[in-house]
């Protein structure tokens, strides 16, 4: 059995990034989705699923905060996609003054994640809740994709979120060092961006998934937070 890895982002470092941040609310520049639009998309995805089970492919926070009870979980591999901290977060785990970064999946490479099977009952309502969790503005519903995922029990078709940029949330091309600077400083009303990264790495490792790119990013974020701690200054954008 592989030796347990000591995480770079310790609870002390993550705690340093936490602070009280008020929810700035939806961006007034964008048009919010209506219940009818979300309901129509949920019905469309339900029809696309057919009579088979509904699987979601989780590669980030959906693993540790799914907001539904999965009746089955499987380690899953998707080829042709990779996880990336590419979406700017001006809210949730960031703020307009100090945006954070959220994980998405982009074309190329391979992504190891977790397939979550939803209960068969009330499937449209469950999809409605999931869409509201992942989308807020018109155009955001275009980020969904059906992906083929390989599991120990065979191939499955699974729904993934944030597999495409949207007009409201374009993807950014930042270096690991630039991404680490943002993550080390960003915090929103849901908590710090560092906690988001730490929770994801820890949960992936529970499933035996060891993502070396995330390990490297975690190390860079930890180093950045230590520099902020040594300067005895709060993690703000000006440093």
Average pLDDT over residues 105-128: 93
Which spans in 88-211 are helix H? 123-134, 176-185, 193-206
Instruction: Please tell me the distance from the alpha carbon of residue 63 to that of residue 68, in angstroms, as a whole number.
Output: 11
Rounded Cα–Cα distance for residues 35 and 25 (Å):
18
For residue 21, what are the CA distances in angstroms to 30, 89, 97? 22, 14, 11
Local structure of 238: helix, strand or coil: coil
Residue (of 135, 122, 143) closest to 34 by Cα position: 135
Model pLDDT for residues 17-49, shown as the tens digit of each residue: 999 999 999 999 999 999 999 999 999 999 998
Task: Look at phi and psi of residue 176 and say left if phi exceeds 0, alpha if psi is from -120 to 50, else beta.
Answer: alpha
129-170 residue pLDDT tens: 889 889 999 999 999 999 999 999 999 999 999 999 998 999
Domain boundaries, the chain: 27-173+202-208
CATH topology of domain 27-173+202-208: Hypothetical upf0131 protein ytfp (3.10.490)
Distance CA 65, CA 202 (A): 13
């Amino acid at each position: 059995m592989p030796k347990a890895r000591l995480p770079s982002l310790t609870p002390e470092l993550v705690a340093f990034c936490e602070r009280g941040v008020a929810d700035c609310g939806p961006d007034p520049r964008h048009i919010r989705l209506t219940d009818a639009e979300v309901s129509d998309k949920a019905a469309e995805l339900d029809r696309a699923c057919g009579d088979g089970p509904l699987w979601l492919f989780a590669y980030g926070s959906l693993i540790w905060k799914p907001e539904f009870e999965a009746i089955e979980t499987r380690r899953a591999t998707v080829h042709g996609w990779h996880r990336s901290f590419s979406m700017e977060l001006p809210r949730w785990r960031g703020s307009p003054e100090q945006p954070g970064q959220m994980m998405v999946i982009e074309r190329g490479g391979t992504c190891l994640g977790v397939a979550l099977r939803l209960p068969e009952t009330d499937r449209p309502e469950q999809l409605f809740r999931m869409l509201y969790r992942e989308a807020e503005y018109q155009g955001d519903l275009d980020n969904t994709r059906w992906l083929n995922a390989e599991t120990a029990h065979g191939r499955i078709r699974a729904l993934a979120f944030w597999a495409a940029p949207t007009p409201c949330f374009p993807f950014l091309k930042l270096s690991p060092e630039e991404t680490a600077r943002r993550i080390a400083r960003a915090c929103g009303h849901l908590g710090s961006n560092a906690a988001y990264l730490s929770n994801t790495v820890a949960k992936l490792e529970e499933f035996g998934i060891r993502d070396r790119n995330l390990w490297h990013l975690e190390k860079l974020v930890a180093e950045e937070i230590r520099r902020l701690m040594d300067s005895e200054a709060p993690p703000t954008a000006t440093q």
